[in-house]
């Protein structure tokens, strides 16, 4: 089969294209801005790449099927030709993944507002470690796996992050509906993606739909400390297992500690210790990600597991050497005078958890938090006060330019000045910058000689500021 991807250079689209190529399909794709590293990955896989979205490029290649990325919208020349002429069938990427890559294999789907990419990577790593030969598709750059995609064995588990965002301009269902989980991980649930969901109730409805397709021989692993997940409808047709710190959880994270040496905690299954974890990955949030991956791996190894004697039936993974995923609390510079980190955080809960962890990991250092409001929700004022309160955990907060601010109505746009007022009311320092380059200038010229940790929060490139300052601080 000849498959053409419109918008091929996104991480998920590119990884899926590579997996189809591994299945011996002929694969090609187009995008605006075909550039490394994804262009190199695609070219090395033998995938034909086309710059731009000219109709002739797609048609002359003669595809049997066309995959439309969810970043592609009406007005795209190839999409408009596709809809006018109907010369080839088209699908969304999630539909393709569900039908062609997962198929009849048992799928392990990781859903939730935070931690999807890290938990997916940890679960795939753990399944590889116990010899399960998993397939996987990771929406980031895993540091513990050979790549972000792998086919695995024909009947082995397929691990994928279940994004709640919509599937395509013509399919407004959440992506995860296409993945038909046998094991469903629900990390957490908060309001996000304000461009497609009205409120928490609206996004919760999508998660309740996901629960409805877990089979009777499947499992739901739920964060038992999250009130929004606990408020979802029950799923009596399947088995629900709770994971968290609270006493009522089936798998408990106990005696959590974090300091300059790393993180330590115990995992207890219904009161009995099953593993002691000591690793370098930061924060309670990553301990929860590990617990979910650990339990998923155990369940995936047995067709009909006995929950009373669960851990005697399976090989147990060891996470002590795990590094996680690139741009998740990634250390770029680690010197006595300067530590520089890059983090994908673009939600106040994630930023708060990361700053708490950094304070424990680097005690005594001044922390400067740089935040770029960039995601479709972060550029609005929905979380304005919560962002300010989270950033107040740093000693100084630097707010970069609001991404595409001109497209957000002023009454709905995030107000960095108001955020700085709130941060200063909390007794901390703060500054705003009209251009991200001005923020970089400030970091390079105004920081004094005190030992300082600088952390960048953005789900984008911060206009090159992260790499620029890391190079300067090296």
- Contacts with 468 (C-beta within 8 Å, 6 or more apart), sequence order: 440
Kind of pairing between the strands at 251-259 and 262-269:
antiparallel
d(CA 167, CA 103): 18
pLDDT confidence of residue 383: 93
pLDDT confidence of residue 435: 97
pLDDT confidence of residue 33: 77
d(CA 187, CA 68): 28
pLDDT confidence of residue 245: 97
d(CA 435, CA 447): 18
pLDDT-above-90 percentage for the chain: 84
pLDDT confidence of residue 308: 85
pLDDT confidence of residue 135: 97
- Averaged pLDDT, 21-28: 96
More confident site: 211 or 325: 211
- Averaged pLDDT, 238-256: 97
pLDDT confidence of residue 169: 95
To the nearest 10°, report the CA torsion of 255, 258, 264, 267. 40
Distance of CA 275 to the CA centre of its chain: 26
Q: What is the pLDDT of residues 165-201, one digit of tens each?
A: 999 999 999 999 999 999 999 999 998 887 889 899 9
Q: To the nearest whole number, what is the mean pLDDT of the chain?
A: 94
Q: What is the pLDDT of residues 411-461, one digit of tens each?
A: 999 999 999 999 999 999 999 999 999 999 999 999 998 999 999 999 888
pLDDT confidence of residue 39: 84
Domains belonging to the chain, first-starting first, are: 2-88 (3.40.50.720), 95-312 (3.40.1190.10), 330-473 (3.90.190.20)
pLDDT confidence of residue 263: 96
d(CA 304, CA 319): 25
- Measured at the CA of 108, the angle between CA 233 and CA 94, to 5 degrees, comes to 85
Q: What is the pLDDT of residues 27-71, one digit of tens each?
A: 999 999 777 778 888 999 999 999 999 999 999 999 999 999 998
d(CA 100, CA 19): 10
What single string gives the DSSP state of each residue in 208-240?
A: HHHHTTS-TT-EEEEETT-HHHHTSPP-TTSEE
To the nearest 10°, report the CA torsion of 305, 307, 308, 309. 40
Q: What is the pLDDT of residues 309-329, one digit of tens each?
A: 888 888 999 999 999 888 888
- CB of 285 closer than 8 Å to CB of 114: yes
- CB of 282 closer than 8 Å to CB of 290: no
* Distances 301 to 157, 183, 311, 332 between C-alpha atoms, Å: 9, 11, 11, 37
- CB of 436 closer than 8 Å to CB of 416: no
pLDDT confidence of residue 191: 87
pLDDT confidence of residue 461: 86
- Averaged pLDDT, 220-238: 97
pLDDT confidence of residue 163: 93
- pTM for the predicted model, two decimal places: 0.91
> Burial code of 95-129, b = ≥16 C-beta within 10 A, e = fewer?
bbbbebbbeebbbbbbbbbbbbbbbbbbbbbbbbb
CB atoms within 10 A of CB 348: 21
């Amino acid at each position: 089969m000849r498959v053409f991807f419109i918008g091929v250079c996104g991480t998920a689209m590119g990884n899926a294209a590579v997996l189809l190529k591994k299945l011996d399909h002929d694969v090609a794709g187009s995008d605006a801005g075909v550039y490394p590293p994804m262009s190199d990955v695609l070219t090395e896989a033998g995938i034909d790449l086309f710059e731009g979205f000219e109709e002739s490029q797609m048609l002359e290649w003669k595809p049997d099927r066309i995959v439309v990325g969810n970043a592609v919208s009406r007005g795209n020349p190839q999409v408009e030709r596709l809809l006018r002429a109907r010369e080839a069938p088209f699908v969304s990427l999630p539909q393709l993944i569900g039908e062609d890559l997962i198929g009849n294999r048992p799928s392990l789907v990781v859903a939730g507002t935070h931690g999807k990419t890290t938990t997916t990577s940890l679960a795939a790593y753990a399944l590889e470690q116990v010899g399960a030969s998993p397939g996987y598709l990771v929406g980031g750059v895993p540091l513990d796996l050979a790549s972000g995609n792998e086919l695995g064995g024909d009947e082995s588990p397929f691990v994928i992050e279940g994004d709640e965002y919509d599937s395509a301009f013509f399919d407004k269902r959440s992506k995860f509906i296409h993945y038909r989980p046998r094991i469903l991980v629900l990390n957490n649930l908060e309001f996000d993606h304000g461009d497609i969901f009205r409120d928490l109730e609206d996004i919760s409805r999508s998660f309740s739909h996901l629960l409805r397709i877990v089979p009777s021989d499947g499992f739901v692993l739920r964060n038992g400390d999250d009130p929004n997940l606990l408020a979802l409808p029950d799923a009596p047709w399947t088995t629900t297992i709770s994971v968290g710190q609270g006493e009522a959880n089936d798998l408990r994270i106990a005696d959590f500690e974090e300091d300059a040496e790393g993180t330590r905690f115990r995992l207890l299954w219904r009161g009995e210790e099953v593993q002691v974890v000591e690793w370098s990955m930061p924060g309670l949030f990553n301990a929860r990600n590990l617990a979910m991956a650990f339990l998923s791996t155990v369940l995936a190894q047995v067709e009909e597991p006995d929950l009373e004697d669960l851990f005697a039936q399976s090989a147990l993974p060891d996470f002590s050497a795990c590094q996680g995923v690139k741009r998740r609390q990634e250390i770029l510079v680690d010197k006595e005078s300067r530590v520089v980190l890059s983090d994908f955080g673009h939600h106040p809960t994630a930023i708060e958890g990361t700053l708490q962890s950094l304070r424990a990991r680097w005690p005594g250092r001044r922390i400067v938090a740089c935040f770029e409001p960039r995601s479709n929700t972060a550029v609005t004022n929905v979380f304005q006060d919560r962002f300010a309160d989270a950033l107040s955990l740093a000693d100084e907060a630097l707010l970069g330019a609001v991404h595409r601010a001109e497209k957000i109505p002023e009454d709905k746009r995030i107000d960095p000045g108001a955020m700085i007022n709130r941060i200063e009311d909390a007794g901390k320092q703060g500054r705003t910058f009209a251009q991200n380059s001005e923020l970089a200038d400030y970091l390079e010229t105004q920081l004094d000689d005190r030992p300082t940790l600088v952390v960048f929060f953005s789900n984008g490139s911060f206009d090159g500021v992260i790499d620029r300052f890391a190079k300067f601080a090296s």
